[in-house]
Amino acid sequence: MSLPLPADLTLVIPCYNEAENVVPLIEGVRQALGLLRWEIVFVDDDSPDGTARIVEREAQRDPRIRLVRRVGRRGLSSAVIEGALSSTAPVIAVMDGDLQHDESILRDLVTPLLENRADVAVASRHVEGGDSSGLANRWRHMLSQAGIRLAQSILPMPLSDPMSGFFAMRRASFEQAVPSLTGTGFKILLEIVLSVPGTTRLIEVPFVFRPRVAGESKLSPLVMVQFLGMLIERGCGGWLPTRFIIFAAVGLVGVAVNLLVSEIARFAGADFATGQIIGTAIAILANFQLNNRITYLDRPLRGKRWLPGLLIFVIGAAIGAVGNIGVAQLLYDTHAHWSHASAAGAVIGVVWNYAIASTLVWR
Ligand code: GDD
Ligand code: MN
């Protein structure tokens, strides 16, 4: 018996709650790729709808189908990175698992890469012949356009659809990008093109973005916050991590909550100290929840891990506050300006809290 031949192409498909779409998708890929030597890697984040079970069943029937299953983690970009890293084929394609990406253009997308005539091929909704009518509504259209403009403003090369999640690349280009990928959010193509050398050969292939039939979109306001954080990180050369930018923004929300709640307490007749205590307590709780839902969306604390996490967060914040006030006081005593001293204290407080959050709370 002869051994099966290794794949020339790995198709990475990130999935979260796409159970109904798996079988039609595999069928579409079989039709589209025919006798090319391909494999599919589904990357599933332990979807509650049983997506993984369906992939397992299909994998038992066809060895070209593989599953990477991540438990306790979430995230489209990191799923794509890990799926690509789990394979060795010289060309990697990435496609959504919800049938919105038209698999019939796969061949046009990957052929120039297989023949080494290009390094990255992007399926674009915004070149002649492409179409984005599958976006759910006008609001999504507007958001998509705004995102494209923002992304284009930091891109070193022209690209009509940097927000596309449908693309292919030669493994060599992917390897060049890997060390600088943050893996946060939805926009992995954008991160990759921001991370490859200027000599990378890039082509675009038109495609029609289809409306979603089964399941629902996972794009949420949180994903948009992550997108802005990622753009800021890349915009300032990568020295400020996305997570820190989001953490600091959440901290500002906490300050606003604190002011608001203590004002309300004052109107309700509380004395100054009581107002401060209530305001601070609610602000810390709000910060903890926001961080759990946004900043650490990829590894939220749930169930039994929630309360211990909150306790460490509170203790950390209390120690941070002492340090924050101490530094501000010290600077003020050495004749620094009032506002400069308190700004320095605040910066130290944020950095401290971030260090505690990232190492002890959301490990
Ligand atoms: N493993 C994993 N983990 N997969 C995920 C996750 C996650 O946390 N979140 C989303 N996915 C999968 C979905 O199951 C789907 O297969 C694909 O990623 C895209 O997610 P959708 O929720 O369908 O996103 P969309 O349709 O709003 O956004 C798409 O359109 C954008 C262009 O407007 C995506 O294709 C984007 O990549 C694309 O840029
Ligand atoms: Mn979709």
Under a CB-based contact definition with an 8 Å cutoff, are residues 76 and 14 in contact?
Answer: yes
Per residue in 221-257, pLDDT (tens digit) is 788 888 888 888 877 777 788 889 889 999 999 989 9
Ligand 1 contacts CB of residue 133 (under 6 A):
no
Reported ipTM exceeds the 0.90 cut: yes
Task: Give the Cα separation of 326 and 304 in Å (integer).
Answer: 35
Going from the C-alpha of 212 to that of each of 13, 100, 131, 136, 177, the distances in angstroms are 16, 6, 14, 8, 30
Contacts of residue 258, defined as CB under 8 A and 6 or more positions apart, other chains included, come to 279, 280, 282, 283
Q: Is 241 helix (H, G, I), strand (E, B) or coil?
A: coil
Predicted TM-score (pTM) of the model is 0.82
Instruction: Supply the DSSP string of 301-348, one letter for each residue.
Output: --GGGHHHHHHHHHHHHHHHHHHHHHHHHHHHHTT--HHHHHHHHHHH
Task: Give the Cα separation of 212 and 78 in Å (integer).
Answer: 23
Ligand 1 contacts CB of residue 130 (under 6 A):
no
Query: Please, is 56 exposed, middle or buried when counting C-beta atoms within 10 Å of its C-beta (0-12, 13-18, 19+)?
Result: middle
Ligand 1 contacts CB of residue 144 (under 6 A):
yes
Q: Which of 20, 68, 76, 85 to mutate to test the pocket of ligand 1 (most atoms within 8 A of CB)?
A: 76
**In what helix (H) or strand (E) does residue 122 lie, and over which residues does it extend?**
strand 120-124
pLDDT at 1 over 80: no
Per residue in 145-198, pLDDT (tens digit) is 888 998 888 888 889 999 999 999 999 999 999 998 888 888 899 999 999 998
How far does the centroid of ligand 1 lie from the alpha carbon of residue 100, in Å? 10
Axis crossing angle, helix 242-267 with helix 272-290, rounded to the nearest 10: 150
Per residue in 120-157, pLDDT (tens digit) is 999 999 998 888 888 878 888 888 888 899 888 888 88
Strands 9-15 and 91-94: parallel
β-bridge partners, 124? 206
Shortest-distance atom of ligand 1 to CA 101: 35
Which residue intervals of 34-187 are DSSP H helices? 51-61, 76-85, 106-114, 138-154, 171-177
Instruction: Quote the DSSP letter at residue 95.
Output: -
Under a CB-based contact definition with an 8 Å cutoff, are residues 285 and 257 in contact?
Answer: no
Q: Which of 95, 148, 219 to mutate to test the pocket of ligand 1 (most atoms within 8 A of CB)?
A: 219
Shortest-distance atom of ligand 1 to CA 166: 35
Residues whose beta carbons lie less than 5 angstroms from ion ligand 2? 98, 100
Ligand 1 contacts CB of residue 78 (under 6 A):
no
β-bridge partners, 329? none
